[in-house]
Amino acid sequence: MSATTGAHGPELRVSGDGATSSARKKRALITGITGQDGAYLAEFLLSKGYEVYGLYRRLSSANFWRLRALGVFERVHLLPGDMTDIASISNAILNSQPDEIYNLAAQSFVGTSFEQPLITAQIDGVGVLMLLEAVKQLDRSIRVYHASTSEMYGATLAEGDAALNEESLFWPASPYAVSKLFSYHQLRVYREAYDMFLVNGILFNHESPLRGLDFVTRKISNAVARIKLGLDETIQLGNITAMRDWGYAPEYVEAMWLMLQQDQPDDFVIATGESHSVRDFLTAACGHLGLDWQEVLVESEKLMRPLDVPCLLGDTTKASTQLGWEPRVKFAELVKIMVETDLNRWNDYLNGVVVPWDAPNCVPSSQFQHKRAA
């Protein structure tokens, strides 16, 4: 246990098991707090008694719908900033005086990384290096979780191979994955060189009703709900044979927290150990609502990536053994949760209920305004 002097005077650090050692609540700083994982993590940490600060990027229109949907918007301290600006990163650390930092901010769309490779590298690569340097300069006792990704493995998994674990070869197949691999190794270097508590969470795909519409799982659940209600007729998808290990995001943020409660820093794979194709997800989603996936699917070459990863499957033996973490929500239940939530959202929307979700992103603004006024 160590003492630091910050903006609020002398402060005691807390023990590694998460128990508070003083009257001050344990503090966490979440970068990317407005995203799926950031919102769920904020909710989880608040339930653990944390004081939660969040770094968010100021946009022309507010993007707080996830925090509002979970009922935590008024309970977190929001700090404007940018991962490409070391001054705002340092200010966020100084203002929050965190015991733990969860770095979830990223340009996380694989497809977009091919179109915007430089900004992807700046945010997902150099931005993380700026964060590490800021922590090194300001307070090396801060524990840092970094959101790494299964995309770093690329096309290393062949049919019949064992699932991917912490020792598997990385062979990235996108600018996004390359940037993430850069930050993964920078974390390892800083951990070993400066004796800092830094961990990489190699998380495989994890989904929820708070997933953005640019991600294929949420695109599917949202589309089939609209098709069921007569708001759409088809859904356009690219490569439907790609296979991913899909888990449930609220469970994955618990794993993030567990990594920072260990005695020693280490890297962990978080996954379900099951792999399913995009076609499997579409089939299950349509089947849940009594739709025929072949009748609603329109395959589009425009949505194909220049280079794609055919299959990702994770091995969580290490996380199970050392963290005591196990996935509970599996594929079929995940699909059901997402489809039913989107169906309920659109039913509410058609009945004139104004709710804090991203409906404005998927309907014409004039139509949305009309429904709100109804």
Residue 276 and residue 323 in contact, taking contact as beta carbons nearer than 8 Å: no
Choose, from 43, 51, 151, 251, the residue flagged as catalytic: 151
Tokens of 172: 């990235």
Query: Does residue 252 carry a catalytic annotation?
Result: no
Query: Does residue 251 carry a catalytic annotation?
Result: no
Q: What is the dihedral of CA 103, 109, 110, 114, to 10 degrees?
A: -110
Q: Where do the H-state alpha helices sit in the chain?
A: 36-47, 65-69, 86-96, 110-115, 117-121, 127-138, 175-194, 216-228, 249-259, 278-288, 293-296, 317-318, 331-350, 365-373
Tokens of 166: 């912490």
Choose, from 31, 34, 120, 149, the residue flagged as catalytic: 149
**CA-CA distance, 155 to 307, in Å (whole number)?**
10
What is the distance in angstroms between the CA of the first residue and the CA of the last residue of the chain? Answer: 58
Instruction: Compute CA distances 309 → 226, 229, 236, 334, 350, whole Å.
Output: 29, 34, 20, 22, 38
Query: Does residue 233 carry a catalytic annotation?
Result: no
Q: How is residue 240 annotated by DSSP? A: S
Choose, from 176, 248, 252, 349, the residue flagged as catalytic: 176
Residues identified as active-site: 149, 151, 176
